[in-house]
Amino acid sequence: MTFRTGYLTARESRIWGLRREELNQSEIGRSLGITRQAVFKALGIIDGKIEQAFEGVADTNNLEMRSVNLVEGVMEAWSPAYRIPVIVSLTQVNGLKVWHMYVGNCDRCGQRGSCRRMLIAEAEERGMELSGEDVRMQPTNLALSIFSRYMGDEQDG
């Protein structure tokens, strides 16, 4: 079990992904050849594991948890050290990622291409369409664009 998978097994990851596609428990069960009750039980386990993963990330990074969306796999947090909002996301393609929500200097960072690829994959998995202009944004601006819908109005500690 790793932060990469958010502690989910391959089967749990599949069930969670189908829920994120807005399938109900009966539809998930039919898709996987299991009962609705088995899906219900699995979702309870999945939610517990995702919450545990988010709590671990918050503890490791000294973040204050603000809100958690277990279905979407998004935690809104606050970094008291940097005094900025933070989004922690869980996707099947990227695993758990911590996104500090500020406009940085991406031109001076060697991770620029990697961040852009991860953010584009994040948007695709979440069903968000990006324009050509979006894809050319600096990664910090792209992250703000993608995650702004998960951020509350309160932006300070």
**CA separation for the pair 34, 108 (Å, rounded):** 50
- Give rounded-to-5 percent helix, strand, coil for the chain: 50, 15, 35
Q: Report residue 23 as tokens.
A: 């399938």
Q: Which residues pair with residue 10 across a beta bridge?
A: none
Q: Please check whether residue 63 is in contact with residue 86, taking contact to mean a CB–CB distance below 8 angstroms.
A: yes
Measured from the Cβ of residue 24, the count of other Cβ atoms closer than 10 Å reads: 12
Per residue in 47-78, pLDDT (tens digit) is: 999 999 999 999 999 999 999 999 999 999 99
CA distance to 10, 19, 108, per residue, from 138 (Å):
33, 31, 11
The per-residue pLDDT of the chain, averaged, comes to: 90
Residue 69 has phi, psi (to 5 degrees) of -115, 100
- Tokens 């990697």 correspond to 114
pLDDT at site 105:
84
pTM above 0.85, yes or no: yes
Per residue in 16-47, pLDDT (tens digit) is: 999 999 999 999 999 999 999 999 999 999 99
Closest CA to 68 of 84, 95, 86: 86
CA distance to 23, 124, 135, per residue, from 151 (Å):
25, 19, 21
The CA-based diameter of the chain, rounded to the nearest angstrom, is 52
